[in-house]
């Protein structure tokens, strides 16, 4: 397979009629491989994904994929694009094989023999061959996501967009999905939009953090984590002390450990007695950026 070109996004802006600025001068260079787009719900991730997928127009900015102008050459882009949206409908009483055949025809695979070969290969690849005659409405969450990837892979796309793909999957299904994405990402630009930090930690060699329509960080996850070395401090506190600590320290995050809040605090040096330095992780990077501490 030919290696995919780089996706270049420059100064992309989108404001909805209700005044919400979903994208605020977003610029990213996305290379071949798995690229994580990390952000909380409502950060602008889905707006960016739909814009790249030629489903909506920005107010301004540009997107270039190799020689293709994504915003002006939509039909050409769609020939090399695979898209798995956060929510996709299925047709009742239609089985997986029939639906993929229909979608392959829409993708421009006119030959019945070629469609059959492509559909059968994809059903094997996403481990749905044994379920090919089952109605899609009877699929589990993991099976539906695997079918979604199969339809996104029709016609061997060079750019694959997956929006919140592991929501609702059990751990086994999630791991199988990870392995499939990692395999696909060897030759293709795969954009993984998610709010789950673990997805990015386990899969992606490059990433961006987006919040309120702005890119807060872009680069390798390892570099992001390294930038917080020696600046994350932790301690257990009483529940009733939480607001007090939040008021006077830069609290990155807190979670309950054995019923008591465990604080992670951002500080250049020990913030006060009782705190211990801890090795940062990508979750610390994420929350520190969202809180405006980076």
Q: Which pLDDT score, from 0 to 100, does residue 89 have? A: 66
The 10s digit of each residue's pLDDT in 223-252 is: 999 999 999 999 999 888 889 999 999 999
Q: 179: Cβ–Cβ under 8 A, 6 or more apart, which residues?
A: none
Give the pLDDT band of residue 107 (cuts 50, 70, 90): confident
The 10s digit of each residue's pLDDT in 135-174 is: 988 888 788 888 888 988 888 899 999 988 776 677 887 8
- pTM given for the model: 0.86
Residue with tokens 């994208």: 23
Residue 130, judged by CB atoms within 10 A of its CB (0-12, 13-18, 19+), counts as exposed
Instruction: Please give the residue that has the higher pLDDT: either 9 or 111.
Output: 9
Q: Which pLDDT score, from 0 to 100, does residue 249 have? A: 92
Is the CB of residue 162 less than 8 Å from the CB of residue 181? yes
Q: Which pLDDT score, from 0 to 100, does residue 101 have? A: 92
Is the CB of residue 213 less than 8 Å from the CB of residue 44? yes
Strands 250-257 vs 260-266: parallel, antiparallel or unpaired: antiparallel
180/213 Cα distance (integer angstroms): 29
Is the CB of residue 101 less than 8 Å from the CB of residue 142? no
Is the CB of residue 162 less than 8 Å from the CB of residue 196? no
Give the pLDDT band of residue 180 (cuts 50, 70, 90): confident
Res 190 pLDDT > 70 = yes
285/279 Cα distance (integer angstroms): 11
Instruction: Please give the residue that has the higher pLDDT: either 59 or 241.
Output: 59
């Amino acid at each position: 397979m030919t290696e995919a070109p780089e996706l270049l996004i420059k100064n992309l802006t989108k404001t909805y009629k209700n005044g919400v600025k979903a994208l605020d001068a977003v610029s990213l260079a996305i290379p071949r491989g798995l690229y994580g787009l990390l952000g909380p719900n409502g950060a602008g991730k889905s707006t960016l994904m739909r814009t790249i997928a030629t489903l909506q127009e920005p107010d301004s900015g540009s997107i270039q994929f190799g020689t293709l102008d994504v915003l002006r050459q939509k039909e050409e882009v769609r020939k090399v694009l695979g898209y798995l949206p956060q929510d996709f409908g299925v047709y009742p009483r239609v089985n997986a094989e029939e639906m993929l055949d229909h979608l392959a025809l829409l993708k421009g695979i006119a030959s019945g023999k070629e469609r059959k070969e492509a559909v059968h290969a994809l059903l094997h690849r996403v481990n749905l061959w044994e379920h090919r005659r089952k109605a899609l409405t009877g699929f589990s969450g993991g099976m539906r996501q695997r079918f979604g990837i199969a339809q996104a892979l029709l016609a061997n796309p060079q750019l694959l967009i997956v929006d919140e793909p592991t929501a609702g999957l059990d751990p086994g299904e999630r791991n199988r999905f990870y392995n499939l994405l990692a395999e696909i990402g060897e030759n293709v630009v795969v954009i993984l939009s998610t709010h789950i930090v673990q997805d990015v930690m386990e899969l992606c060699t490059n990433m961006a953090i987006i919040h309120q329509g702005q890119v807060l960080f872009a680069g390798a996850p390892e570099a992001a984590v390294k930038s917080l070395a020696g600046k994350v401090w932790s301690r257990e506190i009483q529940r009733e002390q939480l607001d007090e600590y939040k008021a006077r320290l830069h609290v990155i995050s807190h979670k309950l450990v054995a019923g008591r809040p465990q604080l992670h605090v951002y500080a250049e040096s020990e913030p006060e007695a009782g705190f211990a330095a801890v090795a940062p992780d990508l979750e610390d990077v994420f929350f520190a950026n969202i809180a405006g501490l980076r």
